[in-house]
Amino acid sequence: MFAAKKKKVKVKIHFEFTVLTVRNLVGKLNGSEVYLEWKKGSAKEHKGKVRAVEVKNDEANFEGQVFSFPTNLMLDEATKNFEPKKIGLILRKVH
């Protein structure tokens, strides 16, 4: 007997992220400027960065900067769970 195929539905979603603070940074970064770069997949519109801020007291306070992007997620109708997607976040020092 054959098992029933799981039905998956493509759902358009728009993610919006608010960047507050990056903590516990290496002390030698104090006084330096850093920015957060993000990337999801290979599409050019699915990457970007937030404005650079100065590191003080081992923290980078991004003051609620926002980045967002649209994506498609696959929803398993039987379990009502979405398949996972990855996003890359990189903290970079301004040179």
pLDDT at residue 31, as a whole number? 96
Per-residue pLDDT tens digits for 9-45: 999 999 999 999 999 998 899 999 999 999 988 877 7
pLDDT at residue 42, as a whole number? 80
CB 29 within 8 A of CB 52: no
Residue boundaries of the structural domains of the chain: 17-93
Q: Is the pLDDT of residue 3 over 70?
A: no
3-state secondary structure string across the chain: CCCCCCCEEEEEEEEEEEEEEECCCCHHHCCCEEEEEEECCCCHHHEEECCCEEEECCEEEEEEEEEEEEEEEEEECCCCEECCCCCEEEEEECC
pTM: 0.81
Per-residue pLDDT tens digits for 49-75: 999 999 999 999 999 999 998 899 999
